[in-house]
Amino acid sequence: MAGKGGAGKTTFCATAARLLGRAGRRVVAIDGDTNPNLHAAVGLAAPAGEFASLPVDLVSRRLDGPALKVPAAEVLDRYGVRGPDGVVVMRMGAAGHADEGCLCSAHAVVSALLADLGAEPGLVTVLDLEASPEHLSRGTARHADVLALMAEPYYRSLEAVRLQARLAAETSIGRVAVVANKCRRPAEADAIAEFCQRHGLELAGVIGWSDAALDADAASVPVLDYPGAEPMAEAVAAAVVRLLDLDDPLPVPRPAAEAGARA
């Protein structure tokens, strides 16, 4: 999942991962943002600093790209943290100090891990990317089956989608789709649909504006656990079904009414 900063990528990825996990799927959610927040959106309460990030020495350089030195299962066991609904959360490496240089190796680790996880039968990997086209220029997402671009109904967000869709077309990523988010009125969803049609892009889902999602974030409660956010969760579920070509819908749980008050 990629797109402009603040478009809702992390919330979508966390909600999608947990819906899939609750439906019985094996799910790995990778935080590919150097400013990590996916753990909190999934529902892991510990600060991000308490989770070990993926070391840059996990890969070796080869003519056909980076490759893991150890089996992917070992990487999951050592660096994955199990969250709600069985979702395993992992973090890309990030700069620990100023003037450390580029993060090329950190991106290479995620790319190699994504390739090996893709060979695991029945496993769904959700990769939350940062708000930059860097993951495309560095090939971080080259092994993705589908690149979902999050679009808000305004010009700068749509321009970010257009740029990243163009770059993705130059990679081995087989499919690019758009998910519209934060649509307050039908006209906003229609505008994104028209944009997709004009640029030859698939529209995989439309998510309406949700005050409850903002309240959930303010309360540090995942959308899936916050009463009143069910319409957003249902829209995410519908988009995931289309993105993964699933045969059956993903059921959305109904949080206990007092959950928001406890938070």
The 10s digit of each residue's pLDDT in 112-135 is 999 999 988 899 999 999 888 888
pLDDT bin (cut points 50, 70, 90) of residue 44 is: very high
Q: Does 182 fall in a domain?
A: no
pLDDT of residue 105: 83
pLDDT of residue 257: 60
Are residues 203 and 214 in contact, defined by beta-carbon separation less than 8 angstroms? Answer: no
Q: Does 156 fall in a domain?
A: no
| pLDDT tens sequence across 62-112 | 766 789 999 999 999 999 999 999 999 999 876 565 655 567 788 889 999
Q: Does 110 fall in a domain?
A: yes
Alpha-carbon torsion angle 47, 45, 149, 146, nearest 10: 100
Are residues 256 and 32 in contact, defined by beta-carbon separation less than 8 angstroms? Answer: no
| pLDDT tens sequence across 97-107 | 565 556 778 88
* Spatial CA neighbour of 128 closest among 252, 5, 251: 5
pLDDT of residue 90: 95
Q: Give the domain CATH number at 118.
A: 3.40.50.300
pLDDT of residue 20: 98
Q: What's the number of domains the chain is made of? A: 1
Q: Does 126 fall in a domain?
A: yes
| pLDDT tens sequence across 132-185 | 888 888 888 888 999 999 999 999 999 999 999 999 999 889 899 999 999 999
Cα 8 to its chain centre, rounded Å, is 9
Average of per-residue pLDDT values in the chain: 89
Among 30-39, 51-60, 106-115, 230-239, name the most confident range: 230-239
Buried b (16+ CB within 10 A) or exposed e, 69-94: eeebeebbeebbbebbbebbbbbbbb
Q: Does 58 fall in a domain?
A: yes
Copy the structure tokens of residue 69.
Answer: 């030195």
Q: Does 82 fall in a domain?
A: yes
Q: Domain containing 129: what range?
A: 8-138
CA distances from 67 to 53, 62, 63, 169 (A): 18, 7, 10, 23
Q: Does 199 fall in a domain?
A: no
Q: Does 103 fall in a domain?
A: yes
CA distance linking residue 220 with residue 222, whole number of Å: 7
Are residues 163 and 132 in contact, defined by beta-carbon separation less than 8 angstroms? Answer: no
Are residues 29 and 124 in contact, defined by beta-carbon separation less than 8 angstroms? Answer: no
